Amino acid sequence: MVKTIWIGDVQSGKYDDQEVELKGWIKRERGSNKMRFIVLRDSTGTIQCVVKKDAIGEELFLEVKNVLIETSVIINGIVNADERADGGHELIATSFEIIGPVNPDRPFPINKEALDSAVDEDGELMPGGSEFLLDNRHLYLRTSRMTSMLKLRSSAFGAIHNYFRNEDFIEYQAPNFVTGAVEGGSTLFEVPYFGRTAYLTQSWQLYAEAAMPALERLYTIAPSFRAEKSRTRRHLTEFWHAEMEMAWATNDEIMAHGEGVVRHVARTLLEEQEKELTSLDRDLDLIARYADNPYPRMRYDEAVEILQAKGDDVEWGQDLDYSKEKILTQDFDVPHFLTHYPKIAKPFYHRVDPDDDNYVLCHDLLAPEGYGEIIGGGERTWSEEEILARLEEEGTDKEPYQFYIDTRSYGGVPHGGFGLGVDRVVSWLAGATHIREVIPFPRTSRRVTP
RNA sequence: GCCGAUUUAGCUUAGCUGGUGGAGCGUGGGACUGUUAAUCCCAAGGUCGAGGGUUCGAACCCCUCAAUCGGCGCCA
């Protein structure tokens, strides 16, 4: 039963004039009552199969004629290089076997019209597609666009693992049930936990910092959950978070890894998924630019000056929201870091800049093309005294953070890390119109099905 | 939480100042020996998101609700 021959290889010319057995699903079907053209799909591509009545007999031909889209089949035949076939190759069928039929009362619902609905007048894909396609996500996954996105996603995950492992980071897992917040408490998902209330984690960070004195350089790729009612093309309630934590490192050194991993992802997509990027109409030169060029760094104060010079009414001390980020990203053709935010704009765990205590040693990485923030990170407050002072200053209850504070009581060292939104990176590099496009079953504030 | 929009056949939609809801795709039947999201003929398929109101009469006007989409804030 093992499948040995892939449509992508047949289209590459590897099996010309040979007899092969192809296994896949029917993508399209047309023809006359003497011959049918079956477009067969598998995970590697599509190929036209020519089925002639004379070659397979009347009875079988009738089955072929009545076959429905997404029927799974095994077709044997001779590979024929022919310009008339899409992709340059076709299969002249000698046999045809239906494996999994489709009920005509419920034909495959993702048809031409449904796909058109996801595209606007200019032929641009609408953000996330139509409600119908979201409801039928389990079937929409089979379309070429979604298949391409999932392949890009796989390469991105692989690239992140490779980057950190090559840099001697150790993969480490934090719990998903937690009791304390990392970001604001209002964005936690509550979970009943045997009579108590637990939360789904927003970040592995606090638990990674606990392991930092053991492993020194650690990373993860794990889901994070945020109950933000955000309705934007950059937000999911469940997203994949690549995070790293590193002992004995400064903000600059941590940023170098942020830049390193993002550039490595871009490079890997170019190397492994050129075909998919092209099929998505993505400009390869753009991805190469993101892979090859250094990412500039800019202090928060400079960003505010630029914004003010552009006539924006931003005030010093306020966090930079998406509208501000978007203006900034227009001046750059590669991602850029913003560093040294005002202390008042960031939570207690960020380390205060020893040179000027109005600022913290942090960084955000903003992706160009209007995508905005893909990394947030920085140095952590590592002395027990300082962390207690910051909690006090911020008016944050220290009880849920007791274990975290405790780690500082036993040999705290300078350290830091960042979190990277993997889905955001894939969305940006793939040129997706919505982050929903790059995750198989997106979870947002209003959708948790299918 | 706030602002804006949408909801008509399985899907995509047309529907004028309120007067018997049309079409394309798909499905079913038929024709066709090289099709390129094939083409041609025929058929079935609708309590117009739900509830209420105005009216002789509502898909259309008004109210309430629901679902969904887009944007903002917040963030990765």
User: pLDDT band at residue A123, thresholds of 50, 70 and 90?
Assistant: very low
Q: Which nucleotide is closest to A110, CA to C1'?
A: B11
Q: What is the pLDDT of residues A57-94, one digit of tens each?
A: 888 999 999 999 999 999 999 999 999 999 999 999 99
If you compute the radius of gyration of chain A from its CA atoms, what whole number of angstroms results? 26
Task: Supply the pLDDT for residue A335.
Answer: 94
Give the Cα separation of A172 and A218 in Å (integer). Answer: 6
pLDDT at A21: 96
Using CA atoms, how far residue A387 sits from A1, A88, A157, A251, A402, in Å, is: 61, 65, 34, 18, 11
> Strand B and chain A: which residues 172-231 have CB closer than 7 Å?
183-184, 187, 203, 226, 228-231
* Confidence (pLDDT) at A184: 55
**Tokens standing for A119?**
């595209």
Task: State the nearest residue by CA to the C1' of B35.
Answer: A31
Please tell me the least confidently modeled range out of A1-15, A157-171, A251-265, A303-317: A303-317
Identify residue A187 by its one-letter amino acid code: T
Chain A window 403-422, residues with Cβ within 7 A of nucleic strand B: 419-421
pLDDT value of position A117 = 59
Query: Residue A121: its pLDDT value, please?
Result: 44
Nucleotide nearest to A187 (CA to C1'): B74
| pLDDT-derived band at A396, boundaries 50, 70, 90 | confident
Tokens of A49: 């199969």
Q: Which residues pair with A242 in a beta bridge?
A: A221, A420
Structure tokens at A333: 């053709």
What whole-number distance in Å separates Cα of residue A152 and Cα of residue A427?
A: 9
Average pLDDT over residues A36-53: 94
Q: Which one, of A193, A218, A189, A215, lies nearest residue A205 by Cα?
A: A218
Average confidence (pLDDT) over A229-237? 87
- Among residues A91, A86, A87, the alpha carbon closest in space to that of A16 is found at A91
> Which positions of chain B lie under 7 Å from any protein Cβ?
1-2, 10-13, 24-29, 31-39, 67-76
The values of phi and psi at residue A325, to 5°, are: -60, -40
What pLDDT is recorded for position A329? Answer: 81
Task: Quote the percentage of chain A above a pLDDT of 90.
Answer: 59
pLDDT score of A183: 56
Whether the CB of A145 is less than 7 Å away from nucleic strand B comes out as no
- Write down the pLDDT at residue A284: 95
Tell me the domains of chain A and their CATH numbers. Answer: 7-100 (2.40.50.140), 144-438 (3.30.930.10)
pLDDT in tens, A327-353: 888 778 899 999 999 988 888 889 999
For chain A residues 268-307, those near strand B by a CB cutoff of 7 A are: none
Which pLDDT does position A38 carry in this prediction?
A: 94
What's the pLDDT band for A116 if we cut at 50, 70, 90? low
Mean pLDDT, rounded, of chain A? 89
Q: In angstroms, how far is B67 C1' from A135 CA? A: 12
Q: How many CB atoms lie within 10 A of CB A188?
A: 22
φ/ψ of A272, rounded to 5, equals: -100, -25
Flag whether the ipTM exceeds 0.90.
Answer: no
Asked if the model's pLDDT at residue A126 lies above 60, the reply is no
The secondary structure of A134-188, three-state, reads HHCHHHHCCCHHHHHHHHHHHHHHHHHHHHHHHCCCEECCCCCEECCCCCCHHHC
CB of A92 nearer than 7 A to strand B: yes
pLDDT at A129: 58
CA of A107 to C1' of B10 (A): 8
Mean pLDDT of all residues in A223-236? 88
Pick the range with the lowest mean pLDDT from A45-49, A128-132, A155-159, A405-409.
Answer: A128-132
Residues 352-411 of A with CB under 7 A from strand B: 364, 372-376
Beta-strand relationship, A170-171 and A217-225: parallel
Mean pLDDT (whole number) for A30-51: 93
Q: How many Å from the N-terminal Cα to the C-terminal Cα in chain A?
A: 31
Lowest average pLDDT, out of A33-42, A95-104, A243-252, A302-311, goes to A302-311
pLDDT score at A113: 66
**CB-based contacts of A434: which residues, under 8 Å, 6+ apart?**
A127, A128, A233, A427
Residue A308 has pLDDT above 60, yes or no: yes
CA within 13 Å, CB half, A55: 18
What's the Å distance between residue A140 CA and nucleotide B67 C1'?
Answer: 21
How do residues A262-300 score in pLDDT, each as one tens digit? 999 999 999 999 999 998 889 999 999 999 999 999 999
Q: Is the CB of A424 under 7 A from strand B?
A: yes
| A398, burial (CB in 10 Å: exposed 0-12, middle 13-18, buried 19+) | middle
Report the alpha-carbon distance of residue A8 to residue A12 in Å, rounded: 6
What confidence score (pLDDT) does residue A423 get? 95
**Nearest DNA or RNA nucleotide to A224 (CA to C1'):** B76
